[in-house]
Structure 1
Amino acid sequence: MAKAARAAQVWRTYREVSRPGSPKLGARLRALPRMVGSALRGEYPGIGRGRLALMGLGVLYMISPIDVVPDFLALVGVADDFGVFLWLTGSLLGESGRYVEWERARPAVRGVPS
């Protein structure tokens, strides 16, 4: 991922989290376990199991000592980890924000008072 593309990803994530009326960062982070559970049970239609698996692989890649590009190759080795980190952070924060909004709208759809 090019430097400009990484910067654009960070900016898009920041704008989405700070948009007025949008779920704040804390709410998005607290929603992550609920979102994963709802997606695995098939309740949340916003994220499929394939994308959820891809995010899980991103987490594994981040914590794994094995890299596609070894870290001893100076900045190139760290750049692949950073690119995965940016993609994963943007994906999780964006999707968890949509999940929080889906949760807020869901009781109204069912007719259950919130």
Structure 2
Amino acid sequence: MAKAARAAAAWRTYREVTKPGSPGLMTRVRAIPRMVRAVMRGDYGGMGKGRLGLLALGVVYILSPIDIVPDFLTLIGVADDFGVFLWLAASLLGESGRYVEHERRVILGHAEEA
């Protein structure tokens, strides 16, 4: 991912998280485990298991000592990890925000039924 593309992705994520009425950063972060459980149970159709698996691979790639571009190639090696991190953060924060909105709609739907 090019430097400009990483910066653009980070900016889009920042704008989405700070948009008025949008779930805040910590709300999104706390929703990630609930979202993963809901996807695994099939209770949240906004995200498939395939996409969840791709996100899990991103986590494994960041944590793995084995890289496509070795870290001893200082700037290039670290840049690929940072690119994956930005993609992963943007994807998780974006999707968890949509999940929080989904939870709110479900709760409102149940409240209107009562």
Same-fold call, TM > 0.5? yes
Matches within 5 A, 1:1-40: 1-40=1-40
Deviation (angstroms), 1:74: 1.8
Extract unaligned runs of 5+ from structure 1: none
CA RMSD of aligned residues (A): 1.1
Deviation (angstroms), 1:108: 2.6
State the TM-score, normalized to the length of structure 1.
0.95
Q: How many residues align?
A: 113
State the TM-score, normalized to the length of structure 2.
0.95
Counterpart residue type for residue 64 of structure 1? S
CA distance in 1: counterparts of 2:107 and 2:6, whole angstroms: 37
Deviation (angstroms), 1:112: 5.0
CA distance in 2: counterparts of 1:80 and 1:52, whole angstroms: 21
Q: Percent identity?
A: 66
Matches within 5 A, 1:34-113: 34-110=34-110, 111=112
SS class of match (2:45): coil
Counterpart residue type for residue 102 of structure 1? H
